[in-house]
Amino acid sequence: AEFSGIPKMTHYTNSFSLLLLLHLTYTFATHVFTDLEGRTEHAEVTAYQYGIFRLRFRDGQKYEVGDVVVATDDLSVPQSGDVFQHNSLNTVVQQSSLTVQENGLKAEFTVNSKAAITTELAAADGDNVGVTVTFPETTVLYGIPERAIDMALKEGHKYRMYNLDIFKYELDNDQGLYGIIPLLMAHSAERTVGFLFLNAADASVQLESDGGNGKKTTFSSEGGIVDMFFIPGPTPLDVQRQYSYLTGKQYLPPLFSLGYHQCRWNYRSEEDVLQVDAGFDKYDIPYDVIWLDIEHTDGKRYFTWDSHNFPTPEKMQEAISDKGRKMVTITDPHIKRAPGYHVFDEATANGYFVKNSAGTADYEGHCWPGTSSWLDFTNPDVRDWYATLFKYDRYKGSTPILYSWIDMNEPSVFNSHEVTMDKSALHHGNVKHRDVHNMYGYYHNMAAHQGHMLRSQGPPHDIPTRPFILSRSFYSGTQRYCAVWTGDNQAEWSHLTKATPMLLSLSLSGLPFVGADVGGFFGNPDAELLVRWYQQATLTPFFRGHAHLESKRREPWLFGDDNTALIRTAIRTRYKILPFIYTQFYIASQEGSSVIFPLFMQWPSDSSLFELQDQFMIGTGLMAKTISEPGVTETEVRLPGTQPWYSFSTGASYSAPAATVGCSLQQGIPILQLGGTILPLRERPRRSSNAQVNDPFTLQVALDNQKQASGSLYLDDTHSFKYQNGAFLFRQFTFENGKLSSTSYSQRTAYTTPVGQVSESFSTKTTVERVRLFGYDTKPSSVSLQYNLQGASYDAAGLQGVVPEDHTKPVPLTFEYENGVLTVRKPQAAIQLDWTITIQ
């Protein structure tokens, strides 16, 4: 549409502006205009909570991305002329406004009266749409994953947004990989804003300087509409949380899925699976899930088993389940065109496949099974039907410990242009594939998630269980359904190095549950690379070892005793910090934050961190550095902020702004705990996360310069939805004035999901077996525990034998003090109760 050619429609040229305070919710204004071709378009403005605006151009014809935005606009706000206001609920005092001129041709988004984003619509050209988006006063742009590049985007580069299965993807290539989150984070030392371009067609972003000290980006897409969200910040964490408010927060994964996963293309038979499982026990290495890739099926017919190699899948799963572990099978979106195969027959009978361009027959292409067709997940009926395929009576040989892996959903079509679906193929409602391409994987995410929700609604489940699904393709919103991995990487040091910025980019773009294949998918890592990879990946949200069909076996015990021990230590580190990781996921699920993130997000005004991508935070308390070359024994680590840092394993202290840290293969990569934080740990070696649930905790307290620290611990039944009804414990630990106190967590932010009806509770007899303090200056004279029980909170029956009968008296505790590390021995403090440990 030629917006510039409509000056005579003066009654539409009035500009309007909306001024919003934080938490202003729901308003929209529509301006209708007719473009030169006589089509009616609506420039529509919507305002959401937290000062977020949406501006989109609708004509009722073009494809619009749906099913992604979950923010509801159900609050009414006082209106005065063009000004809409709402009382701020937050301590962050902020105003934002959107001024739209010339029927939306130009718009300016301001935050606290300062221009933050300006947009100018490009002249439309056929189906092509575009917009120039300028971010004044912006030092660096991040986001628009997934691609194998540095975290900070670069001027002079054009980034494509088109989901593709790229064979042996090159590093530092601007092409898009398997999924896209069309979100930009524009950052400077002063403030951060976000911009979401909700469009699913083949698109690109060209990045340039704006001529001043900001950035200019040009978005262009071959289809759909221009649909933009302006996200005010003012910090990177605010942008992330506001984005999560729009598209959904990380779902709370079941605890097991945060343990270690062992995968390979392919474990060949039931016997092979059981031998690998036995190997972990033989070498006392913990793991939670063993995976089956495409070869486990009957000729790549998903939801079936190869009857020769997997004749008794239930029996196999029972053996795995007996050790408290789980399994995952793969199920891809391409369906073998084979009459007699129930999925093919039913999809054919119901017309559930994507159609060819004429709409006359099913679209066909080649993938693993040979000639295949693709399920049209954009159709809600297809998703409803697909969900039933996961039910135990439909997926023969599946049991409640079986979870899912959905791959090749870009979609990958071997014999088609760019190894993906023909853009002219037709989806539900005569939508061309070109318009919906980047959403295909996302709709597969939704369908598989729906399937797992459905199957746990009845027997043999007493209560519904949380799904675990791993997907390769994704879109904004995938965080509500799936974990994602970075696809087919390679067994090279360069790929280990690039994994960190790739995962950070996904994390800061609102997709927290991410990981890269340990060891590299293609090729064969040598022992040092593999050990380093385990040392790094054990700290990343999704932790899986995987290898190509043609790669040598690389189970952790195949590289000699020394390397087995190093890998065991690395994987055990994961299980040690699992309570902390699980707590971070809970926080992400409640506040829309991420689990790992780049350092600049915690110290946003330190411009020396803006491009730092070989170090990352795990929660706000731990930091690690990737070691990405052989033979390294020590490395320089950036230590931002003003607080001390401590070696996670020894308590040795380091000061800002940088330090040399020993990191031989035996020492492991640098892992540091930030002064001022308390980490909940489970230090006993176990064979799986399930085997840890009754274990006592260690609280590792790293004191800051004021000798204070705080932290939290989230606990629930690990797998059900009962936590949504209050069946969880969320404890707050605070250290100040020589006292460590445990109280119920009550901190809430403006982003915290409101608590639903509390009808259930969670109780545990677990205790604290050890308190370890880093940075405690002198040897204390005494340490004691005092319960602070005010009747109601103390379930005497449930905690009999844990809490002393006379809990009003302080209990003296023993302790050790060595090299600045104070270890309080066996406080036996019940984790669910309020208490104080006093150090004198």
Q: Which residues bind another protein (CB under 8 A)?
A: 268-269, 271-272, 284, 286, 308-309, 322-324, 549-550, 552-553, 684-687, 690-695, 769-770, 825-826
Q: How far is the CB of 411 from another protein (least distance, A)?
A: 25
> Taking each helix axis from N to C terminus, what angle separates 560-576 and 527-537, rounded to the nearest 10 degrees?
10
Active-site option among 41, 165, 488, 555: 488
Q: How far is the CB of 405 from another protein (least distance, A)?
A: 20
Q: How far is the CB of 748 from another protein (least distance, A)?
A: 35
**Vertex 265 angle, CA 260 and 268, to 5°:** 100
Per-residue b/e over 49-86, b at no fewer than 16 CB within 10 Å? bbbbbbbbbbeeebbbbeebbebebeeebeeeeebbbb
- Residue whose CB is less far from another protein, 286 or 365: 286
Q: How far is the CB of 826 from another protein (least distance, A)?
A: 5
- Residue whose CB is less far from another protein, 271 or 526: 271
DSSP 327-349: EEEE--SEEE--TT-HHHHHHHH
Q: How far is the CB of 34 from another protein (least distance, A)?
A: 60
Residue 272 known to be catalytic: no
Residue 91: C-alpha distances to residues 22, 88, 712, 750 (Å): 10, 8, 22, 8
Residue 471's nearest CA partner among 429, 514, 525 is 514
- Residue whose CB is less far from another protein, 511 or 566: 566
β-strand 260-262 against 289-292: which pairing, if any? parallel
DSSP element (H, E) containing 96: strand 95-101
Distance between CA atoms of residues 262 and 273, nearest Å:
10
Q: How far is the CB of 549 from another protein (least distance, A)?
A: 5
Sign of CA dihedral 500, 503, 507, 509: positive
- Residue whose CB is less far from another protein, 465 or 690: 690
Q: How far is the CB of 323 from another protein (least distance, A)?
A: 6
Q: Which two tokens stand for residue 359?
A: 């709409």
Distance between CA atoms of residues 347 and 342, nearest Å:
8
- Greatest CA separation for the chain: 86
Please list the helix, strand and coil fractions of the chain in percent, rounded to the nearest 5, in that order: 20, 30, 50
Residue 687's nearest CA partner among 306, 282, 348, 387 is 282
With H, G, I as helix, E, B as strand and everything else as coil, classify residue 281: helix
Sign of CA dihedral 54, 55, 60, 66: negative
Q: How far is the CB of 336 from another protein (least distance, A)?
A: 18
β-strand 697-702 against 767-774: which pairing, if any? parallel
Residue 86: C-alpha distances to residues 75, 596, 655 (Å): 10, 33, 44
- Residue whose CB is less far from another protein, 101 or 823: 823
Cβ atoms of 156 and 139 within 8 Å: the answer is no
Residue 295's nearest CA partner among 329, 328, 334, 266 is 266
- Residue whose CB is less far from another protein, 691 or 727: 691
Distance between CA atoms of residues 331 and 387, nearest Å:
12
Q: How far is the CB of 688 from another protein (least distance, A)?
A: 8
Q: How far is the CB of 694 from another protein (least distance, A)?
A: 6
- Residue whose CB is less far from another protein, 171 or 691: 691
Active-site option among 293, 407, 528, 555: 407
β-strand 514-515 against 483-485: which pairing, if any? parallel
Residue 410 known to be catalytic: yes
CB neighbours of residue 4 within 10 Å: 11
- Residue whose CB is less far from another protein, 508 or 681: 681
**Vertex 79 angle, CA 76 and 83, to 5°:** 125
Q: How far is the CB of 550 from another protein (least distance, A)?
A: 5
Q: How far is the CB of 325 from another protein (least distance, A)?
A: 10
Q: Which two tokens stand for residue 471?
A: 């997907």
- Residue whose CB is less far from another protein, 69 or 830: 830
**Vertex 504 angle, CA 499 and 505, to 5°:** 100
Active-site option among 410, 704, 716, 834: 410
CB neighbours of residue 319 within 10 Å: 16
CB neighbours of residue 629 within 10 Å: 13
Distance between CA atoms of residues 532 and 545, nearest Å:
13
Total residue length of the chain: 840
Distance between CA atoms of residues 616 and 597, nearest Å:
6
Cβ atoms of 604 and 235 within 8 Å: the answer is yes
- Residue whose CB is less far from another protein, 216 or 554: 554
- Residue whose CB is less far from another protein, 324 or 400: 324
Sign of CA dihedral 604, 609, 613, 619: negative
Residue 488 known to be catalytic: yes
The phi and psi torsions of 716 (rounded to 5 degrees) equal -150, -160
With H, G, I as helix, E, B as strand and everything else as coil, classify residue 435: helix
Q: Where are the alpha helices (DSSP H) in 104-261?
A: 236-247
Q: How far is the CB of 553 from another protein (least distance, A)?
A: 5
Cβ atoms of 513 and 542 within 8 Å: the answer is yes
- Residue whose CB is less far from another protein, 698 or 786: 698
- Residue whose CB is less far from another protein, 685 or 726: 685
Please list the active-site residues.
407, 410, 488
